[in-house]
Amino acid sequence: MKYIQPFDPWKSSLCTCPPKYSLNPYTGCGHGCLYCYATSFIKNFYNPRPKKDFLKFVIKDLAKLPKNSLISLSNSSDPYQPLEKLYQHTQKFLKFLLGTSYRVLIITKSDLILRDIKLLTKLRCAVSITITSKTLSKKLEPGAPGYKNRLKAVKILSEAGIPVSVRLDPIIPGLNEKEILEILDEIVTYVKHITVSTYKARPDSLKRLINAFPEKKKLLEELYLEKGKRLSGAIYLPDKLRYKLIKPLYEKAKKYNLSFATCREALDKFKNPGKCDGSFLII
Protein backbone atom coordinates (compact mmCIF):
# COMPACT_ATOMS: atom_id res chain seq x y z
CA MET A 1 0.00 0.00 0.00
CA LYS A 2 1.26 3.48 -0.87
CA TYR A 3 -0.56 6.00 1.33
CA ILE A 4 -2.62 3.97 3.83
CA GLN A 5 -0.33 2.17 6.24
CA PRO A 6 -0.80 0.02 9.36
CA PHE A 7 -0.65 2.17 12.46
CA ASP A 8 2.29 1.39 14.73
CA PRO A 9 3.54 -1.59 12.69
CA TRP A 10 6.34 -2.05 15.24
CA LYS A 11 3.72 -2.82 17.92
CA SER A 12 5.30 -0.62 20.56
CA SER A 13 4.54 -1.61 24.14
CA LEU A 14 3.85 2.08 24.81
CA CYS A 15 0.92 2.19 22.38
CA THR A 16 -2.50 1.07 23.61
CA CYS A 17 -4.46 2.04 20.49
CA PRO A 18 -6.84 -0.46 18.87
CA PRO A 19 -5.78 -1.99 15.52
CA LYS A 20 -6.09 0.64 12.81
CA TYR A 21 -4.58 2.15 9.71
CA SER A 22 -3.01 5.58 9.26
CA LEU A 23 -3.51 8.06 6.43
CA ASN A 24 -1.90 11.48 5.97
CA PRO A 25 -3.27 13.47 3.01
CA TYR A 26 -0.31 15.83 3.26
CA THR A 27 3.40 15.49 3.96
CA GLY A 28 4.36 17.93 6.68
CA CYS A 29 2.08 20.46 8.35
CA GLY A 30 1.46 24.19 8.24
CA HIS A 31 0.39 24.56 11.86
CA GLY A 32 4.00 24.97 12.96
CA CYS A 33 3.55 23.44 16.43
CA LEU A 34 6.79 23.87 18.36
CA TYR A 35 6.39 20.58 20.23
CA CYS A 36 5.72 18.44 17.14
CA TYR A 37 7.52 15.09 17.14
CA ALA A 38 7.19 14.50 13.38
CA THR A 39 9.74 17.19 12.53
CA SER A 40 12.43 14.82 13.77
CA PHE A 41 11.83 12.30 10.99
CA ILE A 42 9.99 14.08 8.15
CA LYS A 43 12.20 16.30 6.01
CA ASN A 44 11.06 19.92 5.49
CA PHE A 45 8.12 19.27 7.77
CA TYR A 46 7.18 22.94 8.10
CA ASN A 47 7.04 23.19 4.31
CA PRO A 48 3.93 21.04 3.78
CA ARG A 49 2.95 19.61 0.41
CA PRO A 50 0.04 17.54 -0.89
CA LYS A 51 0.46 13.85 -1.62
CA LYS A 52 0.81 13.27 -5.37
CA ASP A 53 -2.18 11.57 -7.06
CA PHE A 54 -3.65 11.27 -3.58
CA LEU A 55 -7.14 9.93 -4.24
CA LYS A 56 -5.98 7.61 -7.03
CA PHE A 57 -3.60 5.73 -4.74
CA VAL A 58 -5.89 5.86 -1.70
CA ILE A 59 -8.69 4.15 -3.65
CA LYS A 60 -6.26 1.36 -4.57
CA ASP A 61 -5.15 1.07 -0.94
CA LEU A 62 -8.72 0.91 0.36
CA ALA A 63 -9.46 -2.05 -1.89
CA LYS A 64 -6.85 -4.04 0.04
CA LEU A 65 -8.30 -3.34 3.49
CA PRO A 66 -10.73 -5.59 5.38
CA LYS A 67 -14.30 -4.35 5.72
CA ASN A 68 -14.97 -2.14 8.76
CA SER A 69 -11.29 -1.16 8.97
CA LEU A 70 -10.52 1.85 11.15
CA ILE A 71 -8.53 4.61 9.42
CA SER A 72 -6.89 7.33 11.50
CA LEU A 73 -6.67 10.68 9.73
CA SER A 74 -4.00 11.93 10.48
CA ASN A 75 -1.10 11.01 12.77
CA SER A 76 1.89 12.99 11.52
CA SER A 77 0.14 16.01 10.02
CA ASP A 78 -3.22 17.73 10.36
CA PRO A 79 -5.84 16.73 7.76
CA TYR A 80 -7.37 20.22 8.08
CA GLN A 81 -4.18 22.25 7.92
CA PRO A 82 -4.20 25.37 5.67
CA LEU A 83 -3.35 23.34 2.52
CA GLU A 84 -6.73 21.61 2.80
CA LYS A 85 -8.46 24.84 1.75
CA LEU A 86 -6.63 24.67 -1.56
CA TYR A 87 -6.43 20.95 -2.33
CA GLN A 88 -9.40 19.40 -0.42
CA HIS A 89 -7.65 16.04 -0.17
CA THR A 90 -9.36 15.29 3.14
CA GLN A 91 -12.79 16.23 1.84
CA LYS A 92 -12.35 14.15 -1.32
CA PHE A 93 -11.35 11.13 0.76
CA LEU A 94 -14.35 11.50 3.07
CA LYS A 95 -16.69 11.78 0.09
CA PHE A 96 -15.29 8.55 -1.32
CA LEU A 97 -16.02 6.81 2.00
CA LEU A 98 -19.77 7.50 1.68
CA GLY A 99 -21.65 4.22 1.43
CA THR A 100 -18.66 2.13 2.51
CA SER A 101 -18.16 0.23 5.77
CA TYR A 102 -14.87 1.89 6.69
CA ARG A 103 -14.62 3.75 9.98
CA VAL A 104 -12.62 6.97 10.22
CA LEU A 105 -11.11 8.80 13.18
CA ILE A 106 -10.24 12.42 12.43
CA ILE A 107 -7.61 14.13 14.58
CA THR A 108 -7.32 17.87 14.06
CA LYS A 109 -6.68 21.26 15.64
CA SER A 110 -8.67 23.16 13.05
CA ASP A 111 -12.22 24.46 12.91
CA LEU A 112 -11.97 24.04 9.13
CA ILE A 113 -13.49 20.64 9.85
CA LEU A 114 -16.85 22.42 10.24
CA ARG A 115 -16.86 22.88 6.45
CA ASP A 116 -17.50 19.13 6.17
CA ILE A 117 -20.00 18.73 8.99
CA LYS A 118 -22.85 17.53 6.75
CA LEU A 119 -20.55 14.97 5.23
CA LEU A 120 -19.39 13.74 8.64
CA THR A 121 -22.97 13.11 9.78
CA LYS A 122 -23.27 10.52 7.00
CA LEU A 123 -20.11 8.60 7.88
CA ARG A 124 -19.03 6.12 10.53
CA CYS A 125 -16.68 8.54 12.19
CA ALA A 126 -15.48 10.21 15.35
CA VAL A 127 -13.53 13.43 15.72
CA SER A 128 -10.73 14.19 18.16
CA ILE A 129 -9.90 17.86 18.63
CA THR A 130 -6.49 18.64 20.12
CA ILE A 131 -6.38 21.55 22.57
CA THR A 132 -3.10 22.49 24.21
CA SER A 133 -3.57 25.95 25.67
CA LYS A 134 -5.98 28.84 26.09
CA THR A 135 -3.46 31.68 25.97
CA LEU A 136 -0.23 30.33 24.44
CA SER A 137 -1.45 28.94 21.14
CA LYS A 138 0.00 31.80 19.07
CA LYS A 139 3.47 30.89 20.33
CA LEU A 140 3.07 27.12 20.65
CA GLU A 141 1.03 26.55 17.47
CA PRO A 142 1.46 29.70 15.35
CA GLY A 143 -0.27 28.37 12.23
CA ALA A 144 -3.22 26.68 13.93
CA PRO A 145 -6.62 28.12 14.87
CA GLY A 146 -6.81 29.48 18.42
CA TYR A 147 -8.54 28.11 21.48
CA LYS A 148 -11.92 29.78 20.90
CA ASN A 149 -12.15 28.38 17.37
CA ARG A 150 -11.41 24.86 18.56
CA LEU A 151 -13.87 25.09 21.44
CA LYS A 152 -16.49 26.28 18.95
CA ALA A 153 -15.73 23.30 16.70
CA VAL A 154 -16.11 20.88 19.61
CA LYS A 155 -19.48 22.39 20.49
CA ILE A 156 -20.89 22.47 16.93
CA LEU A 157 -19.73 18.94 16.09
CA SER A 158 -21.22 17.60 19.30
CA GLU A 159 -24.54 19.36 18.74
CA ALA A 160 -24.64 17.85 15.24
CA GLY A 161 -24.51 14.37 16.78
CA ILE A 162 -20.94 13.61 15.74
CA PRO A 163 -18.98 11.76 18.44
CA VAL A 164 -16.27 14.11 19.71
CA SER A 165 -13.37 13.59 22.06
CA VAL A 166 -10.63 16.01 23.03
CA ARG A 167 -6.91 15.45 23.25
CA LEU A 168 -5.54 17.60 26.08
CA ASP A 169 -1.93 17.42 25.06
CA PRO A 170 0.89 17.81 25.33
CA ILE A 171 1.14 18.90 28.94
CA ILE A 172 4.34 20.94 29.12
CA PRO A 173 5.56 21.51 32.69
CA GLY A 174 5.81 25.16 33.61
CA LEU A 175 3.71 26.25 30.65
CA ASN A 176 0.19 24.88 30.37
CA GLU A 177 -0.62 22.39 33.14
CA LYS A 178 -3.01 24.81 34.89
CA GLU A 179 -4.74 25.81 31.66
CA ILE A 180 -5.31 22.17 30.72
CA LEU A 181 -7.43 21.74 33.85
CA GLU A 182 -9.44 24.86 32.99
CA ILE A 183 -10.01 23.59 29.46
CA LEU A 184 -11.41 20.34 30.80
CA ASP A 185 -14.03 22.31 32.75
CA GLU A 186 -15.10 24.10 29.56
CA ILE A 187 -15.38 21.08 27.25
CA VAL A 188 -17.05 18.64 29.62
CA THR A 189 -20.56 19.42 28.35
CA TYR A 190 -19.69 18.40 24.81
CA VAL A 191 -17.47 15.31 25.08
CA LYS A 192 -17.60 11.82 26.53
CA HIS A 193 -13.90 11.01 26.33
CA ILE A 194 -10.56 12.78 26.77
CA THR A 195 -7.03 11.69 25.97
CA VAL A 196 -4.13 13.17 27.89
CA SER A 197 -0.38 13.04 27.37
CA THR A 198 2.74 14.82 28.54
CA TYR A 199 5.29 16.42 26.25
CA LYS A 200 7.88 13.91 25.05
CA ALA A 201 10.93 15.91 24.03
CA ARG A 202 13.13 15.43 20.99
CA PRO A 203 16.24 17.55 20.47
CA ASP A 204 14.74 19.75 17.76
CA SER A 205 11.39 20.36 19.48
CA LEU A 206 13.02 21.06 22.85
CA LYS A 207 15.27 23.63 21.20
CA ARG A 208 12.23 25.33 19.64
CA LEU A 209 10.41 25.48 22.98
CA ILE A 210 13.41 26.94 24.76
CA ASN A 211 13.88 29.55 22.03
CA ALA A 212 10.21 30.55 22.31
CA PHE A 213 10.17 30.51 26.12
CA PRO A 214 13.73 31.39 27.22
CA GLU A 215 12.51 32.00 30.76
CA LYS A 216 11.73 28.25 30.96
CA LYS A 217 15.15 27.15 29.69
CA LYS A 218 16.55 26.13 33.06
CA LEU A 219 13.39 24.23 34.05
CA LEU A 220 13.02 22.37 30.75
CA GLU A 221 16.67 21.40 30.55
CA GLU A 222 16.64 20.16 34.13
CA LEU A 223 13.47 18.10 33.72
CA TYR A 224 14.31 16.61 30.33
CA LEU A 225 18.08 16.65 29.85
CA GLU A 226 19.12 16.02 33.45
CA LYS A 227 16.25 14.06 35.01
CA GLY A 228 14.39 12.71 31.98
CA LYS A 229 14.62 9.23 30.52
CA ARG A 230 14.74 8.00 26.94
CA LEU A 231 11.89 5.87 25.68
CA SER A 232 11.11 4.96 22.08
CA GLY A 233 13.22 7.74 20.59
CA ALA A 234 11.95 10.50 22.87
CA ILE A 235 12.92 12.01 26.21
CA TYR A 236 10.22 11.45 28.84
CA LEU A 237 9.71 13.32 32.08
CA PRO A 238 10.39 11.26 35.22
CA ASP A 239 7.56 8.86 36.01
CA LYS A 240 6.64 10.59 39.27
CA LEU A 241 6.32 13.97 37.59
CA ARG A 242 4.22 12.61 34.73
CA TYR A 243 1.96 10.93 37.27
CA LYS A 244 1.68 14.22 39.18
CA LEU A 245 0.75 16.14 36.03
CA ILE A 246 -1.85 13.62 34.85
CA LYS A 247 -3.52 12.73 38.15
CA PRO A 248 -5.56 15.97 38.56
CA LEU A 249 -7.01 15.51 35.07
CA TYR A 250 -7.78 11.88 35.77
CA GLU A 251 -9.59 12.75 39.00
CA LYS A 252 -11.52 15.59 37.40
CA ALA A 253 -12.58 13.39 34.47
CA LYS A 254 -13.73 10.76 36.94
CA LYS A 255 -15.75 13.39 38.77
CA TYR A 256 -17.38 14.40 35.48
CA ASN A 257 -17.99 10.73 34.54
CA LEU A 258 -15.84 11.08 31.43
CA SER A 259 -13.95 8.25 29.79
CA PHE A 260 -10.23 8.89 30.28
CA ALA A 261 -7.06 7.61 28.65
CA THR A 262 -3.44 8.56 28.22
CA CYS A 263 -1.21 8.32 25.15
CA ARG A 264 2.07 6.38 25.40
CA GLU A 265 2.63 7.15 29.06
CA ALA A 266 3.30 3.61 30.37
CA LEU A 267 1.64 4.47 33.69
CA ASP A 268 -0.56 1.57 34.77
CA LYS A 269 -2.88 3.75 36.86
CA PHE A 270 -4.17 5.58 33.79
CA LYS A 271 -4.14 2.86 31.13
CA ASN A 272 -7.34 2.32 29.17
CA PRO A 273 -6.33 -0.12 26.39
CA GLY A 274 -8.30 0.10 23.16
CA LYS A 275 -9.95 3.37 24.12
CA CYS A 276 -7.04 5.77 24.15
CA ASP A 277 -7.75 7.38 20.76
CA GLY A 278 -11.51 7.83 21.18
CA SER A 279 -12.35 5.65 18.16
CA PHE A 280 -14.61 3.48 20.35
CA LEU A 281 -17.14 6.32 20.12
CA ILE A 282 -17.81 5.49 16.46
CA ILE A 283 -21.33 4.12 16.09
- Residues 6 or more apart in contact with residue 110 via CB below 8 angstroms: 31, 78, 80, 81, 84, 144, 145, 149, 150, 153
pLDDT recorded at residue 1: 85
Angle (nearest 5°) at CA 32 between 213 and 215 = 0
Q: Is the peptide bond between 170 and the residue preceding it cis, with omega within 30 degrees of 0?
A: yes
pLDDT recorded at residue 283: 85
pLDDT recorded at residue 9: 67
pLDDT recorded at residue 33: 98
**How many whole angstroms separate alpha carbon 105 and alpha carbon 84?**
17
Q: Which residues of the chain have pLDDT under 50?
A: none
Locate all alpha helices (DSSP H) within the chain, ordered by sequence: 54-62, 83-87, 89-97, 117-120, 137-140, 147-159, 177-187, 203-212, 217-220, 239-255
CATH code of the domain covering residue 202: 3.80.30.30
Q: Are 24 and 77 in contact (CB under 8 A)?
A: yes
- Residues 6 or more apart in contact with residue 267 via CB below 8 angstroms: 239, 242, 243, 246
Give the number of domains in the chain.
Answer: 1
What is the pTM for the complete model shown? 0.96
pLDDT digits (tens, 9 = 90+) for 8-17: 867 788 999 9
pLDDT digits (tens, 9 = 90+) for 168-206: 999 999 999 999 999 999 999 999 999 999 999 999 999
**Domain interval for residue 213:** 4-281
Which of 231-252 are b and which e, b meaning 16 or more Cβ less than 10 Å from the residue's Cβ? eeebbbbeeeebbebbeebbeb
